[in-house]
Amino acid sequence: MRSEEEMYHLILQKAQLDERIRGVLLNGSRANKHVKPDRLQDFDIMYVVTELTSFIEDSRWVDYFGPRLIMQLPDESALFPNDTSKETFAYLMQFEDGNRIDLTLISSETVKKQTKLDSLTKVLLDKDQLFTNLPESDETDYLVSLPSEAEFNDCINEFWWVSTYVAKGLARKEITYAKAMLDGPVRDMFLLALNWKLVAQSNQPLNLGKNGKFLQSYLTTEEWRALLTTYSNGEIQSTWEALFNMCAFFMAISDYIELKLEYKNKTKQEKILTYLEKLKNNQ
């Protein structure tokens, strides 16, 4: 596997040799001083270019970065179409040696029109002095703040509303549907509320990572174990247990937020929990 130094050299060398490339920016976790580096981190790179067309029409130029295992062009996807009005183009490349570059092209003119870049941005190369006033890279855009009372109640409502879908799916033995609901919208609200609880507890905004990947650092051992019990295997009984474990944890979280922020919870959680239990017991 090529080293971090080798990859940066390759990325910068390509930019220095190609006059169409006017700047190189680094985004993502490698631009975040609070994230512990590891060999699995992507290189989230942005090439600021004079124009996009020549880079898109002939993609052989990315062969410069080495043998690829797989490449994805999200802006050309028929299955997951992107916003065609965006003035960017991305090459997502997983290399055979284990390195990965997520390379986005953006024109200099588009950059000049932007009022703000992602807060996690470091300048690696700036041929035209476009980024002389760019602030130091930080987590500002990724910090979770406290919710409004309306947001708090919407989160609770969504959690319990979709929890009934999970229970109905399990009662019908529709395990794939039930798990999709549990690990999709229900878990999204659960993690959102948990994030808010931790922010309220710490009295400051926090970056808890995509899908809560940094949560373990902020939870007690007991809380972490409780969180893990909200994940099930492919069995009906295990998924029932995960659902009720998540409900219990969620109620504790929402009670804490309600008390801490002096909000009023409008959802009758205990009644919904009783309804879920009746579905489980075929009542």
Which of 25, 23, 26, 12 shows the shortest CA–CA distance to 109?
Answer: 23
Domain that holds residue 210: 143-282
Q: Which of 124, 141, 158 is the last residue of a domain?
A: 141
Please count the helices (runs of H) and the strands (runs of E) in the chain.
9, 6
Taking all residues of the chain, what is their mean pLDDT, rounded to a whole number?
95
Number of Cβ within 10 Å of residue 270's Cβ equals: 9
Q: Which of 120, 141, 162 is the last residue of a domain?
A: 141
pLDDT given for residue 85 in this prediction: 60
pLDDT given for residue 80 in this prediction: 85
CATH of residue 130's domain is 3.30.460.10
**Is the pLDDT at 153 greater than 80, yes or no?**
yes
CATH of residue 188's domain is 1.20.120.330
Statement: the pTM of the whole predicted model exceeds 0.85: yes
pLDDT given for residue 87 in this prediction: 87
Share of the chain above pLDDT 90, in %: 90
The burial of 112, by beta-carbon neighbours within 10 Å (0-12 exposed, 13-18 middle, 19 or more buried), is given as exposed
Please indicate, yes or no, whether residues 186 and 210 belong to a single structural domain of this protein: yes
CB 202 within 8 A of CB 259: no
Please indicate, yes or no, whether residues 64 and 126 belong to a single structural domain of this protein: yes
Please indicate, yes or no, whether residues 162 and 187 belong to a single structural domain of this protein: yes
**Is the pLDDT at 82 greater than 80, yes or no?**
no
Q: Are strands 43-49 and 100-107 parallel, antiparallel or unpaired?
A: parallel
Please indicate, yes or no, whether residues 40 and 166 belong to a single structural domain of this protein: no
User: What are φ and ψ of residue 91, in 5° steps?
Assistant: -115, 115
Please indicate, yes or no, whether residues 156 and 267 belong to a single structural domain of this protein: yes
Sorting pLDDT into bands at 50, 70 and 90, what band is 13?
very high
Q: Which of 141, 174, 206 is the last residue of a domain?
A: 141
Section 236-262 average pLDDT:
98
Sorting pLDDT into bands at 50, 70 and 90, what band is 182?
very high
Please indicate, yes or no, whether residues 16 and 95 belong to a single structural domain of this protein: yes
Which of 41, 40, 50 shows the shortest CA–CA distance to 18?
Answer: 50
**Is the pLDDT at 282 greater than 60, yes or no?**
yes
Please indicate, yes or no, whether residues 26 and 117 belong to a single structural domain of this protein: yes
Please indicate, yes or no, whether residues 71 and 189 belong to a single structural domain of this protein: no
pLDDT given for residue 116 in this prediction: 87
188-198 pLDDT, tens digit each: 999 999 999 99
Q: How many domains does the chain have?
A: 2
pLDDT given for residue 44 in this prediction: 98
pLDDT given for residue 84 in this prediction: 59
Please indicate, yes or no, whether residues 38 and 134 belong to a single structural domain of this protein: yes
Please indicate, yes or no, whether residues 12 and 112 belong to a single structural domain of this protein: yes
Please indicate, yes or no, whether residues 217 and 228 belong to a single structural domain of this protein: yes
pLDDT given for residue 206 in this prediction: 95
Please indicate, yes or no, whether residues 125 and 156 belong to a single structural domain of this protein: no
